[in-house]
Amino acid sequence: MALPNVTFWDGIQRLFYIVPPSESSFEKLEDVPDYISQSLPFFFGAMLIEVIVSCLSGAAPKARVNDGINSMSAGMLSEMMKMVTFSAQLTTYVIIYNNMRITELPWNSPYTWWICFIGVDLGYYVFHRLGHVNIMWAAHQVHHSSEEYNLTTALRQGAMQGFTSWIFYLPLALAVPPPIFMVHTQFNILYQFWIHTEVVKSLGPLEYILNTPSHHRVHHGRNRYCIDKNYGGTLIIWDRLFGTFQAEEDHVVYGLTHPLMTWDPVWAQASHFKHIWCTFWQTKGVRNKVSVLFKGPGWSPGKPRLGEITDIPDVHHPHPKYNSELPLWATTYVFIHFFVTVIVFSHLGLKAKIINRSAVNVGVMCLIFSLVAFGALFDKKWYAPYLETVRVAVFLMIDIATFTTGQSAMESLLGFPSMGMSVLRLWFMFSVSLWVLLSAKQVSTAGLTRVSENDTATTQ
């Protein structure tokens, strides 16, 4: 189940969407590589380089561990959603192509490749622009919730977004073969990874054509001049054509206009859905209720479709960020356990299609539990030590309960050597002992103090 070898040049080409048509045109769907999975090492390599450059040059703010882990947690939740559901996008696309296509473009033609490139990017622009309509914003706002802007932010995705995004690409199924479509949907996503950085300031003349870090920084801004601008994926020409372009001016303040004030990755996914639910039932009139769903997040009766720009807080850099810092030992502890969780997640993703579906679902639930526990620790929730005690104890219980024929289910999933598993078990045993002790002391003596009632209300 190891990933195929990908050369350094191949990885760079894919991230920057410069793979020639002759190397990325396929006749059959099963021949299309999983470009995104194969790019994971390049993601982590790029993030490491960005951290080093930021520290050495001061070209960007230093990365925060809590924010980076929260962003990657959101990305993992999004991918886990795909593990437990079927791909409606590709299935529907194939059905339409097989039964309703108007013409059949040749799969091995450069013209087909370029038509699909343009079509996918236009489809993304339309989806992305409508993604800022309230009902779709509920899923997309997760991506905007970070108050940092670095490569980890690119991984912060809404778990529910995949239920609507695929619809906007279906017109391509009337002519473009599914394998070519599958190639470009992946490349379009990969391109958007590297533009989430403050290290790259400008690309010169390319700024007129391509979506760049500068343009996308504006899109992630909560400054008034940044709101509802620069929806492009790979190209910025759609924003220039349809009047949504905005050049970077004042230093961008990132995040939501009303920040979440929590590191809980599940609440980040669910918070705006709850807000819509409450607003929907509180709003009077059928027409107004429909508007709650299909107008901008800032809309209310008597206001324009996207709301009043003056209702948005007028923020300027520098602006305070939510940051409930842990002691160094606690941050290191969470980082190590998160690293183990990423390994489990990666192996589960590789084997999800060949192992028992129930085992996949159990694995997903355990991973979600872990991410929630990490968020609670970073938020300094009073119950975080108890939650973490249960989490590490569950890992050990699953490991013991499934130990048969010389290895446990966890050991089989991870593929660790026996020595590695022994070290991992000792680490979890130490973790259980640690949190039992800290829980008994009510956490205060260990540096993880209870949140004040005021902070708790603000977080919620």
- Whether 304 is in a domain gets the answer no
Measured CA to CA in angstroms, residue 386 lies from 125, 326, 392, 426 at distances of 45, 17, 10, 20
Listed residue (340, 324, 327) closest to 431, CA to CA: 340
Compute the distance between CA of residue 427 and CA of residue 423 in angstroms, rounded to an integer. 6
> Where is pLDDT greater, at 3 or 48?
48
Whether omega for the bond prior to residue 179 falls within 30 degrees of 0, making it cis, is no
**Number of independent structural domains in the chain:** 2
The residue that leads in pLDDT, 191 or 459, is 191
Distance CA(363)–CA(344), nearest Å, equals 9
The packing angle between helices 384-401 and 357-379, to 10°, is 150
> pLDDT category, 429, cuts 50, 70, 90?
very high
- What are the two backbone dihedrals, phi and then psi, of residue 87, each rounded to the nearest 5 degrees? -80, 95
| pLDDT score of 289 more than 70 | yes
**Residue closest to 413 by CA, chosen among 399, 423, 425:** 399
In a domain, 296, yes or no: no
Task: Give residue 271's pLDDT band: very low, low, confident or very high (50, 70, 90).
Answer: very high
Q: How confident is the model at residue 354 (pLDDT cuts 50, 70, 90)?
A: confident
pLDDT for 101-144, tens place per residue? Answer: 999 999 999 999 999 999 999 999 999 999 989 999 999 999 99
Tell me what pLDDT residue 86 has: 55
Whether residues 220 and 340 fall in one domain: no
Please indicate whether residue 415 or residue 350 has the higher confidence score (pLDDT): 350
Calculate the CA 121 to chain-centre distance: 19
**8 in a domain, yes or no?**
no
Query: Within this chain, do residues 118 and 214 fall inside the same structural domain, yes or no?
Result: yes
Whole-number pLDDT of residue 63: 81
The answer to the question of residue 311 being in a domain is no
- How far is residue 186's CA from residue 87's CA, in Å, rounded to a whole number? 14
| Cβ count near 341 (within 10 Å) | 23
Higher local confidence (pLDDT), 145 or 413: 145
237 and 353 share one domain: no
Q: Note whether residue 257 is domain-resident.
A: no
In a domain, 238, yes or no: yes
pLDDT at 409: 63
**pLDDT for position 451:** 45
Same domain, 210 and 350: no
24 lies in the same domain as 171: yes
Percent of residues, the chain, with pLDDT higher than 90: 68
User: Which pair of tokens denotes residue 385?
Assistant: 């030590």
pLDDT band per the 50, 70, 90 thresholds, residue 350: confident
Supply the pLDDT for residue 454: 44
141-145 contacts, C-beta under 8 A, 24 or more apart: 141/256, 141/272, 141/297, 142/74, 142/268, 142/269, 143/74, 144/220, 144/255, 144/256, 145/74, 145/255, 145/256, 145/259, 145/260, 145/268
Position 303 pLDDT exceeds 70: yes
* Residues 72, 186 share a domain: yes
CA 68, CA 159: separation in Å to the nearest integer? 17
Instruction: Report yes or no on 314 lying in a domain.
Output: no
Residues sharing a CB contact under 8 Å with residue 447, sequence separation 6 or more, in sequence order:
326, 327, 329, 330
Whether this prediction's pTM lies above 0.75 is answered by yes
The residue among 220, 242, 264 that closes a domain is: 242
Q: Are residues 453 and 359 in the same domain?
A: yes
Q: Give yes or no for residue 1 having a pLDDT over 60.
A: no
C-alpha count within 13 angstroms, C-beta hemisphere, residue 269: 23
Residue 220 and residue 363 in one domain: no
Whether 225 and 371 map to the same domain: the answer is: no
Q: Could you read off the pLDDT of 223-239 as tens digits, one per residue?
A: 999 999 999 999 999 99
Cα-to-chain-centroid distance, residue 177: 28
- 71-106 residue pLDDT tens: 999 999 998 887 766 567 788 999 999 999 999 999
**pLDDT at 358 > cutoff 80:** no
CA distance 36 to 38: 5
Q: Does 2 have pLDDT greater than 60?
A: no
Q: Which residues pair with 404 in a beta bridge?
A: 407
Indicate whether 337 and 435 sit together in one domain. yes
How big is the chain by its Cα radius of gyration, in Å? 23
Q: How far apart are CA 318 and CA 211, in angstroms?
A: 25
Among 226, 242, 258, the domain boundary falls at 242
Please indicate, yes or no, if residue 100 is contained in any of the structural domains.
Answer: yes
1 against 279, higher pLDDT: 279
**Residue 83 CB contacts under 8 Å (≥ 6 apart), including other chains:** 348, 349, 352, 360, 364
Confidence of residue 30 (pLDDT cuts 50, 70, 90): very high
- Regarding whether 232 and 379 lie in a shared domain, the answer is no
Indicate the average pLDDT of the chain. Answer: 88
Based on the domain organization, do 220 and 365 belong to the same domain?
no
- The last residue of a domain, from among 242, 258, 287: 242
Domain that holds residue 392: 328-459
pLDDT of residue 453: 44
